[in-house]
Amino acid sequence: MTLTDLPLFPLQSVLFPLGRLSLRIFEARYLDLMSRCLVADRPFGVVCLQQGSEVRQAGQTVRFEPVGVLARLLSADSDQPGVLKAVCLGGARFRWQTLSEQANGLWVATQAEQLPDDPHLPLAAAHQPAAQALARALALLAAREGHSSGPMHLDDTAWVANRWCELLPIPLAARQKLMELPDPAARMDLVDRFLRDKQLLQG
């Protein structure tokens, strides 16, 4: 599926499909973007920065990873003038092909290809310890932050792998490569190996 004129939100982080992303937005270009996405009920693209910063700086060079994830707004509110707090949900992955920078500094993928969703694969028996450890980690995180962790899909290979990829202390470039992997079983194998190497799993 081809996407055209997809507005981009570059971050020094990686969004995964079905991952939740909290944003604190104060730049005019992104406040306008969120307003337009809310009105039109359309997604925007989250891409990881290879070079440059999230806040626009005159004369800086920015480079983006070639694959990002579509994001839809779940909620948006403001508790102070000029600042928007938004919560977004990750959707399909995409690969941008051509980019354009608008006059206000907003980047747009003038052409992008939506990539296939991860297939649903039942979690292998060997990865059950990783799923159980994930459930405990998400419950602790939800209790600490004072909100529900949301529905869990502990029987789905991609969901378990993706949630671990969000939590693990790994370099940003490695997180990006894991997100790009088209095979959720391979992603899960890498995650499981990391957890066992760090002695975070038993059994």
pTM: 0.91
Which one, of 116, 117, 203, 129, lies nearest residue 164 by Cα?
129
Q: Residues 121, 134, 54, CA angle at the centre, nearest 5°?
A: 95
Which residue carries 């937005």 as its tokens?
Answer: 25
DSSP state of 116: P
At 137, which helix (H) or strand (E)? helix 128-145
Contact 63, 53 (CB under 8 A): no
Which residue carries 């051509």 as its tokens?
Answer: 98
E-assigned strand segments in 54-157? 63-64, 67-80, 83-101, 107-114
Dist CA 78 CA 154 (whole Å):
34
pLDDT in tens, 33-90: 998 998 888 999 999 999 766 556 656 678 999 999 999 999 888 878 888 899 999 9
pLDDT in tens, 83-132: 889 999 999 999 999 999 887 889 999 999 999 999 999 999 999 999 99
Q: How far is CA 75 from the centre of its chain?
A: 16
